[in-house]
Amino acid sequence: MNLLQSIFRGGESRGRYPESLIGAAIERAVEGTDTRLRLLPGYRKRLRVPVIQAIDQVVGLVDAIPAPLVAGRREYGKDPRLSAVGTPSNPAT
């Protein structure tokens, strides 16, 4: 489940991202809000911390996604989450 973590972190600790990622995220934020922000002197510097916090938040959310649930016939009796869904129908033979 650490796909985005591996992309964003590149093996570094949390909050340590490649400058290219931070720069691209800043520009995406500006594009998605108001491109006139580029007229402000130092807009990249002012957006750096909030953008890094947003990346940290996304990485945390992705890391919190649970692993996939195997939903085979044998698992229905073993996993209460599947039992709550119902009993699998008999396969046509």
Which stretches of the chain score pLDDT less than 70? 1-15, 86-93
Q: Which of 4, 6, 1 is nearest to 67 (CA)?
A: 1
The predicted pLDDT at position 40 comes to 96
pTM across the whole model = 0.61
Q: Are 37 and 30 in contact (CB under 8 A)?
A: yes
Classify the C-alpha dihedral 16-14-54-58 as positive or negative.
positive
pLDDT in tens, 65-81: 998 888 888 887 788 88
